[in-house]
Structure 1
Amino acid sequence: MNVEYINPFVETINNILATMASMTCEYQKPYVKPDDAPLGVVTGLIPMAGDTVRGSLAISFSEGAILMISSLMLGEEISQLDDSCRDLTGELTNMLSGGARKLLWEKGFDFEMAQPQLLFGDDLVAHAVNGPVLVIPFETKAGPFFIEVVFSSRLDRARVIAG
């Protein structure tokens, strides 16, 4: 997968958490996800489509990470997974996809994003396109969260069909 697609997501989530929650996170070595199992307790999933690229993005939080992020962003102690954590996951998904979309647009990639879907617990993460799903793991003081990205270039598919 092209690193030009990945860096905007890393940059955007770092900016969101620094400005909205006054916290930092460290990203770890990316890897290819082996299955559709959720990596956290709550996940936001959003499809993306453009003239040359289709794909989807998911952000999945461990319970500790979303509780801490929710508490910091809402300014009150959130001690158990509740509707505010779920709602905030949807908002974070929107902010992440919007910020990354802007950065990708500046690099010449243009696509639209749909409304995020929220997944809970054992709900499988069904991405919008088939292909290798790149996972970018992040670590916070309260636990991990994960960004998943998969893209399928329509130009690459056309080359395969024509070739």
Structure 2
Amino acid sequence: MNVDFINPFVASIAEILNTMASMTVEHQKPFLKHGEQPLGPVSAMIPMRGDTVHGSLAISFSDTAILKIASNMLGEEIRELDDTCHNLTGEITNMLSGGARKRLWEKGYNFDMAQPDLLDASQPLVHHAKSPVVVIPFTTCAGDFYIEVALAENFSRAELSLS
């Protein structure tokens, strides 16, 4: 996938977690996802639609990562995966999509994102657009999380090659 498309997501999540949760993140090498299982117990997904972009974005947190992020953001210790963690995942997804959208708009991509869908045990699959799903793994001091980005097939093969 075009690195111009991936970097705004990397920069946005790093900025969000640094500012809102006083945490640093490191991204690892992206890879193609196989299957539709969420990569963590707390996930959210948001569609992307526009003139130049059609696809979806998902984020999945390990339990330890979202508990620490929630605790830092809310200023109180969160000890279990509950509605607070799920709702906060939706808010982080909104912030991530907004930050990435702004950065992508500056590069000439124009698209809208809807409200995120929170995924839980009743929705055990992440249904992306019919296209390759690139996973960007991240590590924090508290655990891992993953951003998944899928683009629709109307993009050329050159744009979908991993960088």
Secondary structure of the 2:151 match is: strand
Q: 1:52, 1:154 within 8 Å by CA — same for their partners in 2?
A: no
Larger Rg: 1
**CA RMSD between the two structures:** 1.3
Q: Which amino acid aligns with 2:124?
A: D
2 CA distance for matches of 1:63 and 1:103? 29
Match in the other structure for 1:138 = 138
Contact 2:41–2:61, Cα closer than 8 Å, also in 1: yes
* Aligned partners of 2:44 and 2:90 also within 8 Å: yes
Shift of 1:52: 2.4
Give the aligned partner of residue 88 of structure 2.
88
Q: Corresponding residue for 1:3?
A: 3
**TM-score, normalization by structure 1:** 0.92
Alpha-carbon offset, residue 154 of structure 1: 3.1
CA distance in 1, matches of 2:109, 2:72: 33
Give, in angstroms, the shift of residue 142 of structure 1. Answer: 1.4
Structure 2 counterpart of 1:57 = 57
Corresponding residue for residue 37 of structure 2: 37
In the TM superposition, residue 152 of structure 1 has moved relative to its aligned partner by 2.0
**Alpha-carbon distance in structure 2 between the residues aligned to 1:106 and 1:51:** 15
Query: Runs of 5+ in structure 1 lacking a partner?
Result: 158-163
The answer for unaligned runs of 5 or more in structure 2 is 158-163
Q: Which residue of 1 aligns with 2:112?
A: 112
Map of 1:19 onto structure 2: 19
Aligned AA (1:115): Q
Question: Sequence identity, in percent?
Answer: 63
2:67 matched to which residue of 1? Answer: 67
Taking structure 2 as the reference length, the TM-score comes to 0.92
